[in-house]
Structure 1
Amino acid sequence: MRTYPVTYKDRFGEESTTILSDGSTMCLTLRAIEFKGIDFEMLSGKMDHTQFEYEKYQDGTGYLTNFEMDVQFPIKINSGTIADSGEITAHIRTGREKETLVSLELTTAFGKFLNSKKHEWFEDALIEIQQLLPQKCRIKSCLSCRYSNYHPIGNGMFGGLHCFRNLKCEARHVSNKGELMLLWQKGEEENKIFNVQEIYDCPEHAFLTQKDWAYKSWS
């Protein structure tokens, strides 16, 4: 379990808290209410309209909305054979009143790197940061791993990757969307795949290569 400091802000006020994450699900407590979810746009908990705004559905459920967050994530960077570490501050904005956007700032021992614009997807924001890094510096995270993919039918702003490390051999031979969907179905039936966050990493990480096919924009 990892802990990420958070500054949360909405029309009801501002507070500091922490996110607990296992790499798939996030948990955080705001104003004495616990919220859980895989995406910043899919945080759910006990509904209290006196303290929060929600994206509501006909079945009575709803997700937290119309807020901003600054979240600090540690992240690993490889420079040749040398492993370094940095910290990414992610500014998240969600809701109908304000367009959902994300922007990142990476702080390292060799400088700071910021998005030139706000993005709709965490994937695109992290890819821009990678493109700003010095040559041979590579972000080591689930997004850059050869064993992760997004589903061809789409994904949310954050945390929509799925990990195929339990199907490594099959994953290495996927070469198109049809094959990915078949492997996805097998992974779900055998309970061998699970969602992961773009900035997470594990000991089984392997960088995506030019020979690998992947349904994501990382290269």
Structure 2
Amino acid sequence: MRETLGYASPQHYPAVVTDCWGRFETVLVNNGGTFTMVLRGNRFEGTSVDSLQLVGAPAETVEPPALHHGDLCSCAIEWRMPVEVSLADSGRVSVPLTARLVLGDPAPNNAIDSVGVTLQLHLPTGVVETTAPQGWMEDALMDLQRRLPDGTRLLACISCAYSDYHPAGSGFIGSMACFRDCKDAYRAVAGKPDLFALWDKKSGFVQETFHCPDFERRQSGTGYRG
């Protein structure tokens, strides 16, 4: 089991699932490494929101969830979570971030045909949103950052000086490595070979929207991911 870093206690996010049966209000629970959610009596769990797997037998209901190899599909999951931002005129504040993840239908290639997430950041001055669905939370958050007003910055692992992804790739959310316990060594990383050499010294994995006291603003060209 991989070591995850994050919340001292589980976070409960108000959520809505929309599928062929209609709209269902629920709660998405996030402990930093695992997400859980109950949909019409069915409990789902997974390390990422795009791979929530049914736990146990399906509930007896006339509105069964759509599944692909046990994972929830053919629906939209929308949840709201708090994130930290720095504002030009009032410093650090916590604001709501709404994410809407659309999971497609089973496809002939043994996967689902689409995954797309859009984001809305609710700032005191108004709502900032992404322009198009993205397949990874990383890309959606980077798009969102580019659209923030001057002087406003997202204070989260995605924009931290000590976070990076494995060169072989990453999942939808939560596979970002943290190097907060070896900061000086990570500052010297200039490409893939350097990151490979340092990888086993990582502190653990974090979710892109998490924030901790070691946060420092990332500068362009830092580490493997730049």
Q: 1:36 aligns with which of 22, 45, 68?
A: 45
Task: Find out whether 1:131 has 2:131 as its counterpart.
Answer: no
Task: Find out whether 1:151 has 2:151 as its counterpart.
Answer: no
Native 8 Å contact 1:24 1:194 kept in 2: no
Q: 2:181 aligns with which of 142, 156, 166?
A: 166
In the TM superposition, residue 64 of structure 1 has moved relative to its aligned partner by: 2.0
Which residue pairs with 2:66 in the alignment?
Answer: 53
Q: 1:27 aligns with which of 14, 18, 36?
A: 36
Task: Find out whether 1:90 has 2:99 as its counterpart.
Answer: yes
Change (3 A) 1:99 1:211: closer
In the TM superposition, residue 32 of structure 1 has moved relative to its aligned partner by: 2.8
Quote the sequence identity (%). 29
Moved over 6 A (4+): none
d(CA) in 1 for partners of 2:18 and 2:155?
A: 30
In the TM superposition, residue 176 of structure 1 has moved relative to its aligned partner by: 0.8
Q: 1:99 aligns with which of 87, 100, 114?
A: 114
d(CA) in 2 for partners of 1:167 and 1:67?
A: 41
Aligned residues: 206
In the TM superposition, residue 53 of structure 1 has moved relative to its aligned partner by: 2.6
In the TM superposition, residue 43 of structure 1 has moved relative to its aligned partner by: 1.4
Change (3 A) 1:72 1:53: same
Supply the AA of the counterpart residue of 1:16.
Answer: E
Write out aligned runs for 1:68-217 (5 A). Answer: 68-80=76-88, 82-96=91-105, 99-184=114-199, 186-187=200-201, 192-210=202-220, 212-215=222-225
Q: 2:75 aligns with which of 50, 67, 73?
A: 67
Native 8 Å contact 2:84 2:94 kept in 1: yes
Cα RMSD over matched residues? 2.2
d(CA) in 2 for partners of 1:211 and 1:124?
A: 17
d(CA) in 2 for partners of 1:29 and 1:213?
A: 39
Native 8 Å contact 2:157 2:210 kept in 1: yes
d(CA) in 1 for partners of 2:224 and 2:51?
A: 25
Which residue pairs with 1:59 in the alignment?
Answer: none
Native 8 Å contact 2:195 2:223 kept in 1: no
Secondary structure of 2:196's counterpart equals helix
Native 8 Å contact 1:6 1:72 kept in 2: yes
